Structure 1
Amino acid sequence: MDFAFDARTEELRKKLQAFMDEHVYPAEAVADEQRAGLESPWETPPVVEELKQKARKYGLWNLFLPDRTYGAGLTNLQYAPLAEILGRSPRLAPTAVNCAAPDTGNMEVLTEFGNAEQRRQWLEPLLSGEIRSGFAMTEPDVASSDATNIETRIRRDGDDYVISGRKWFISGAMNPDCKIFIVMGKTDPDNPDSRRQQSMVLVPRDTPGLEVRRAMRVYGYEDHYHGGHAEMIFDGARVPRSNLIGEEGGGFAIAQARLGPGRIHHCMRLIGMAERAVELMCHRAQGRSAFGRPLAEQGVVREWIADARVQIEQLRLLVLKTAWLMDTVGNKGAHTEIQAIKIATPRAVVDILDKAVQLHGAGGVSQDFPLAELWAAARTLQLADGPDEVHQRSLARRELKRHAAGQG
């Protein structure tokens, strides 16, 4: 097996690492200072726009999108190490290179399923970084881990669709630059096939009947850099039928197509978060002493650092294997591995970050280090894009079926 990166990947890795060192890491403190002076905490600090302009000059833009017409044309295997680097600064780096969720998934949906007018009106400004977007699927009144449960109604009325329902934890919705939502709801709730009841429609932010009600906190964080996570009300919001994405009844399939790449992108970035945590652990351990000895000489601290390195190397190999399978046999062929990394990566990275917080003592839970916020983000990913238990259920069922077939 060849574990080396190809020439293009290595070139982009070097460019991206230089961009991070020269521009992104120094901008973290600047962004915080600028945000404190903004009229609204949801506005984007000016330094972010500066980073986006610099990223374009570096040739680091839309790296996530494999479609050469719209994106960089990278495979999942080529993008994986780049996403890992971006994960080291999840506040700024993904946005700086236009590779931030939920825009990435929405752009993939519009690229694959959108019609020409939808791509012109919404995909193009998203690709250029002029606007942001949201993906409205999760609901507070049902177990949204089972997407067939959603209750938001998308009712046809002549040449329009009328949308009624309540969504929450809609990422990015608090950002005033978020101009468009992809909304999933039921167009055919009586269809005997529960996976053909849903459709997806495009709903502009300024649509009458759409209310972005409040920001949902995540472990106490409002996640300003991500655009927040909003509760939204659709009270008879009306859009033209031309805003339907794909076909009626195709919403569930589109959601599955969207979440496959999204899950691997999250896992790639999580590994970058873990690497930064280990880096911080090592600096802290070498610079602090307790009970007459540097922390780096304490046995338990060395165990934490060693275990973290082992976990990261295991995760990286599994994620790279999954990326390779997605490229060679498709998302369906890599379904088992996608579920495996979605289970394993957040769980392990939460543990690594927890040890890093412990090593930093009171500082670890404060705003003076990124660890507490990184921990909250990693822990949230044990729920986002399907909770661990849903993936475990599906993965176990697939494994049992495979062995039952072998016995037969």
Structure 2
Amino acid sequence: MKRLVVLGGGESGVGTALLAKAKGYEVFVSDKGKIKENYRQVLIHNEIEWEDETHSESKILNADIVMKSPGIPDKAPLVKQIREKGIQVVSEIEFASKFTKATIVGITGSNGKTTTSTLTHYILKRELNVGLGGNIGDSFAKQVLEHDYPNYVLEISSFQLDDIDTFKPKIAVLLNVTPDHLDRYDYKFENYIASKFRIAENQTKEDYLVYDADDEVITNWLKEHPVQSTLLPFSITKKVEKGAYLEEEKMIIAIDNNQIHMSTNNLALEGKHNIKNAMAASTVAHLLKIRKQTIRESLESFQGVEHRLEQVLKINKVQYINDSKATNVNATYFALESMDAPTIWIVGGVDKGNNYEELFAFVNEKVKAVICLGVDNDKLIDTFGGMVDTIVETQSMEEAVKMAYKLSESGDNVLLSPACASFDLFENYEDRGRQFKDAVRNL
């Protein structure tokens, strides 16, 4: 009997443990932190051995295979020990994919993953039996065990791709690559780019890579590191032979002499970046033979995802917008780009080596006040202090929202778009977004 050790007792860890047990593995789950009560109950109920608030090396280093949670870095001493012993380390995506023959759509990129994955799933589920998982929602492994859908849309982070071996999606989508998580990649951008491109490393010419042809990082990398996949680029600046492009106000998707035309004026989601997300999702749907009418209707009715440019409330003619999911500078770039009124910007958190330069033009043009929300705000104050009339420091969401309320005038926007991770003051970006919405509702 093979022994699988799962490091991390969260959604992906517990899902993997359940699937492994069902497939005849001896399973042990170990979490250095505290395992949440609901996950603990699942493990107890399924008679899976587990421990939390410690890692017992004697029970871990005798594994045949280790599934580690994407949150645990390779630099962790325990992971180094495991690798030194020659034990295979895999991600949940890698492990679970061995037990399904489903058609997999894998979506990655620095930004837009959740929106594009959710939108793609939203279109496909109208005509196909399809699961949504990966970095979002229910664990992929658990879905393979309980539903074994014939199709999956998986949102995949670079951390999940770092530990694949044979995983290959039928359709891979690479939305964009901008510097993010460099703290996990020895502060080398090329390491992070290589990690994103692993989504295509096992693909053959029968598989597809859908990617942004306007993204120089992607196009330059492809020139130097060609992939086997059939390429389907999308662009909002130039015409492509195969793939998706814009012509006047129309989005055109062209694959094998079969074209879809769609007006971009009717898209439910606003902003240039969302035209790209819609192109990527539509290309996937077209490849999977979804009817044109269904694709059109879906793009016109899709309402977006929580914590991503989510309109919360209008109070005294001031619009409050929750973009807590903007955990890097590029995501905040899109948010500020789409602001069409004077904006009070709430920013800050755990800085992952951010360079704020690309935001300067928007800050000068649109931002009237900056509210810093983080434990350490020095870099923000140094960077933006000279650009705006008002810059203030706050230590809690309630305080930040009250300050925004004081500084705002009729017709303004109040935008939470932190450009940073949330772990200094919040559990995660969802917690941060929910606290923002609660604080706005309590004004």
Tell me the TM-score normalised to structure 1 length: 0.27
RCO greater where, 1 or 2, for CA within 8 Å and sep 6 or more? Answer: 1
- Please state which structure has a larger fraction of its residues in strand: 2
- Please state which structure has a larger fraction of its residues in helix: 1
